[in-house]
Amino acid sequence: MARQAANACTKAKHILSACRMSLPPPEVSKVTTRRVWCDGATDIRTGKNYRSAALGHPKIYLEIDEHGYVDCGYCDRRFVLEGGPADGVDQSQLMDISEGADPGHR
């Protein structure tokens, strides 16, 4: 019985992991530097009707590693380094990488 439960749990983890990989990030920003920042509201703070409000999330700094992209842990915005390994790749096929995460160990 315990063995069946362990096998079911392992199968569920693989299915969940596959589901995460098949969904593209909600927003992709191409950048030219490895060090980026995100506040979740950069693109909505413009225009003639802009009013300051409690939008977005705390400003955080992220570092793009050898994979060529990094994901914001708050809003899931993906930053892709132009000319890097992830540039031009189907983003739905890449694992989520938050600051300090390694997709090779999932």
At 26-71, the pLDDT tens digits run 889 999 999 999 988 766 555 555 555 567 888 899 999 999 999 9
Provide the residue ranges of all domains of the chain, joining segments of one domain with +.
24-101
Report domain 24-101's class.
mainly beta
Query: Residue 78's CB: how many other CB atoms inside 10 A?
Result: 21
Residue 42 DSSP one-character state: G
What is the per-residue pLDDT for 15? 47
Q: What is the pTM of this model?
A: 0.65
Q: How far apart are CA 12 and CA 5, in angstroms?
A: 10
- CB of 98 within 8 A of CB of 76? no
Q: Does residue 99 register a pLDDT over 80?
A: no
